[in-house]
Structure 1
Amino acid sequence: MPGHPHAPRRVIREVAAAVLAELPVFADRLVERGAVEEKTFYARGDWVAPADMRQSFMDNARSALVLMSEGFGTRAGWSAAPLATGRRRAEQGVPLEAVLHLFRLGTELLWEMLLAAARRRSPDELAEFIDSVMVLWQATDRVSTAMVEGYRSRETRLRARADRRRERLVRLLVEGRGADPVVAAEAEAGLGLPGHGRYAVVLVGCDLADDVVPAPGLAALGVRVVAALYRDRVVWLAELGGVTADRLAASLTPHLQHRAGLSGEVDGLAEIGIAYQLAEIALSTQEPDVPGLAVLDDRLPEALVAASPRLARRLAARTLGRVLELEDEERHVLLATLRAWFSAGRSATRAGELLYCHRNTVLNRLRKLEQLTGASLEDDRHQLCCRLALMAHREKP
């Protein structure tokens, strides 16, 4: 009866019941339109099978109609269908944006069917139904929210599983297991990297993967990067394609906010373990707490020193001798002078300019160094040892 407080609910319930009886027709229309939408909207082309699409449309429409007709306090298990749909679409790899787009399409068609059913009733009941249209939007919003909840919960689990698998495969490769055909085949399938190709490894001194993302534009260069945590570092396996390691370094450098080391180029997954070791050596040549990329091939002398720290310490002690026994200030002045002299191409005048002192002061300090080391700085071998010793002995600021 018009004006009766329960009339709108009764009208909604009866209209919903009429549409429930027509759900198969409704689902067929959605599948027909959804198939067209899929081809143009699903970015990854992960199409849902028509039977799956049809069933999910029916199940979710039924959930919305149950909420409309029985009220939002219902315990009829209406959320099971949208939760299951969301989980299934996440497993199928369908982008959430595409899922929601098709859900909105279904909502539009559901409204058309509800309105058509309401128009078969009296004018007063049609008016009451239209006045209660907010119930439809509230119901479909609940169903949509449940579907997104199911999607995101399953997506989180799938991502965690994929992360664990990626980290395990990267660990096997950097530990030198890539020469094992079984490991190589699993890595090819799981990481999408070819067994044979040109590779380099980037090792980033950071233990939070979300803090470190490869530089944008690498994909456009044809470089594929797989990143994973390993111990307290982030490892990038870079399949170079046609790009040189120098080009990779140039692309990465402006975007790195942490210390990082770049290996030289290696051949195939079988040599990833070697590349990792080289990247680790390159990283060790980078000053502590100083962000930036240390490229192995640009620091081979430093890498030689870093690769054998025990020999490097022995070389420094043997070469610099009594210099290292001096008080901090005098030792620092003499070693800084030696570094400046090498940097200035062994010119006392230019070294003095770098140190803001007279060339004679530089010469006096160099003579003191020769006295303490017991060798002439004109001797090529002693010069080489001094250069390496300076690399091995890092003065504290």
Structure 2
Amino acid sequence: MPGHPHASRRVIREVATVVLTELPSFADRLTERGAVEEEAFYARGDRVAPADRRQSFMDNARSALVLMTEGFETRADWLSAPLTTGRRRAEQGVPLEAVLHLFRLGTELLWEMLLAAARRRSPDEFAEFVDSVMVLWQATDRVSTAMVEGYRSREIQLQARANRRRERLVRVLVEGRGADPAVAADAEADLGLPGHGRYVVVLVAGDPAAEDVAPPGPELAALGVRVVAAPYRDRVVWLAELGGVSADRLAGVLAPHLHHRAGLSGEVDGLAEIGIAHRLAELALHTQAPGVPGLAVLDDRLPEALVAASPRLAQRLAARTLGRVLDLEDDERAVLLDTLRAWFRADRSATRAGELLYCHRNTVLNRLRKLEQLTGASLEDDRHQLCCRLALMVHGETP
């Protein structure tokens, strides 16, 4: 016998055989004790039927007694009960802690019943049985371990299934099918997202498998914002139902947690417009410079989004507006474009632009005149100014 070579296998077998006949009583007593000590478990009575609980108590106790009487290497059928219990409780959504607590209660009660049966034997046999107590702990430990293995394996399967369903629903929503009543019903049932509500979409350009692309759950829950995240193509998409929070407030909460490039859409109405929000979030993301982490908020970057929305048209506008400036050598072109940016940032003041560029105002004026010569248009023209600002967005930073 493992750990106790001098203990009597015959005494253990006979005592365990007696208790085997008392398993119905064991199950009744454990049910009664568990009802008092594990109220949280029994509050889930709609998930676990009393007959189910009682039968699992008997089956798992029988498995422990089989191990005690037949040895740990000769019988394999003891595995079935704990594995089945673990899988079933995972499916029923019972917390593993509650199941383990009942297993501990069961071990205590089983020991009490074995001890009571052993006391009815001779003093020497009782002493032999007590010396072999380790056999009980080994048996119940193996049964408990098998139950946990069954629970964990089924939990993983269920989580994988839930992940696939969540990813499918998110994909369907961002592809614009949220107006379908069946899709909306599934989204509400499985994702907890109401069909009508104030929504935004966040797109994160990071590895979908990385932990740092997950939304900050506790902070969002504290705001009353419901978020569902799932990988989609080469992005991670977050669907956020704002509740009573503004999109600006949400952006402020998210910004410190985003260590990748990310885009936040404008607000849309209901699941039917999630597809629109996804496209807006993609536009916002495109306004964020490659390789620069941070959250780009669409409503703060609408001019940039207009440029990003039609890159071919934007390139054509830039080429037509800047004209021969784009034909210059790199260094000379960069000097002129930097001067134009500084002039716009300085509210078209040559003096303040010179301060930004660390040069004299006359130098600024000379460069601006050269720009006018190369573009063939006056910088005093409002329309040309607008086109220049958009062209600068195409070729670098926002002026």
TM beyond 0.5 = yes
Corresponding residue pairs, total: 392
What letter corresponds to residue 214 of structure 1 in structure 2?
A: P
Amino acid at match of 1:338: L
Checking the alignment, whether the CA contact within 8 Å between 2:229 and 2:237 is kept in structure 1 is yes
2:100, 2:262 → 1: CA distance? 41
Q: Closer, same or farther in 2 for the Cα pair 1:327/1:24, shift >3 Å?
A: same
> Are the structure 2 counterparts of residues 43 and 272 from structure 1 closer, same or farther at C-alpha, using a change threshold of 3 Å?
farther
- Give the deviation of 1:5 after TM superposition: 5.8
Counterpart code for 1:254:
P
- Report Cα offsets for 1:329-367 as digits up to 9, x if no partner: 111222122222222222333333333333333222222
1:137 deviation in Å? 1.4
2:35: which partner in 1? 35
Q: What is the aligned partner in structure 2 of residue 54 from structure 1? A: 54
Provide the rounded CA distance (Å) in 1 between the counterparts of 2:339 and 2:42: 65
2:232 pairs with one of 223, 230, 233 = 230
Name the counterpart of 2:348. Answer: 346
Distance 1:96 1:42, change over 3 A: farther
CA drift of 1:31 comes to 1.4
The residue number in structure 1 matching 2:143 is: 143
The 8 Å contact of residues 42 and 94 in structure 1, kept in 2 or not, is answered as no
Q: Deviations over 1:267-307 (max 9, x none)?
A: 11111111111111111111111111111111111111111
| Distance (Å, rounded) in 1 between the aligned partners of 2:269 and 2:193 | 13
1:331 partner amino acid:
R
Map 1:349-368 to 2 at 5 A: 349-368=351-370
1:43/1:95 contact within 8 Å kept: no
Higher alpha-carbon deviation: 156-165 or 374-383: 374-383
Contact 2:199-2:268 within 8 A present in 1 as well: yes
Q: Equivalent residue for 2:63?
A: 63
**Pair 1:131-2:128 in alignment:** no
Aligned to 1:328, which of 327, 330, 352? Answer: 330
Q: 1:273 aligns with which of 272, 275, 299?
A: 275
Structure 2: 5+ residue runs without aligned partners? none
Deviates more, 1:140-149 or 1:39-48: 39-48
Contact 1:39 1:45 in 2 (8 A): no
Summarize the alignment of residues 1-397 of structure 1 with structure 2, pairs less than 5 Å apart.
7-40=7-40, 47-211=47-211, 212-215=213-216, 216-394=218-396
Give the letter for the 2:157 counterpart. Answer: R
Q: Tell me, which stretches of 5 or more residues in structure 1 are unaligned?
A: none
Q: 1:387 to 1:131 in 2, by over 3 A?
A: same
Q: Shift of residue 391 of structure 1? A: 1.0
How high is the TM-score relative to the length of structure 2? 0.93
- Larger CA deviation: 209-218 vs 274-283: 209-218
Using the alignment, how far apart are the partners of 1:50 and 1:88 within structure 2? 14
Identity %: 86
Look up the SS of the partner of 1:177 in the other structure: coil
Name the CA distance, whole Å, in 2 between partners of 1:110 and 1:347.
Answer: 89
Cα contact 2:321–2:387 (8 A) shared by 1:
yes
Distance 1:295 1:140 in 2: 57
Does the 8 Å contact 2:204/2:235 carry over to 1? yes
**Bigger Cα displacement from structure 2, 363-372 vs 265-274:** 363-372
1:121–1:359: structure 2 CA closer, same or farther, 3 Å change rule? farther
Shift of 1:46: 6.7
Aligned-partner Cα distance in 1 for 2:139–2:45: 30
- Structure 1 SS opposite 2:378: coil
- What's the TM-score once normalised by structure 1's chain length? 0.93
Q: CA RMSD in A?
A: 2.0
Report deviation, 1:139.
Answer: 1.2
Secondary structure in structure 2 of the residue aligned to 1:346: coil
Tell me, what secondary structure is at the counterpart of 1:357? Answer: coil
Which segment is superposed worse, 192-201 or 106-115? 106-115
Which deviations, in whole Å up to 9, do the C-alpha atoms of 1:243-269 show, x marking residues without a partner? 111111111111111111111111111
What amino acid maps onto 1:361 in structure 2?
A: T
Letter in 2 for 1:60: N
Q: CA distance change for structure 1 residues 27 and 317 in 2, over 3 Å: closer, same or farther? A: same
Whole-Å Cα distance in 1 between the matches of residues 5 and 83 of structure 2? 34
Once residues 268 and 375 of structure 2 are traced to their aligned partners in structure 1, the CA distance between those partners, rounded to angstroms, is 41
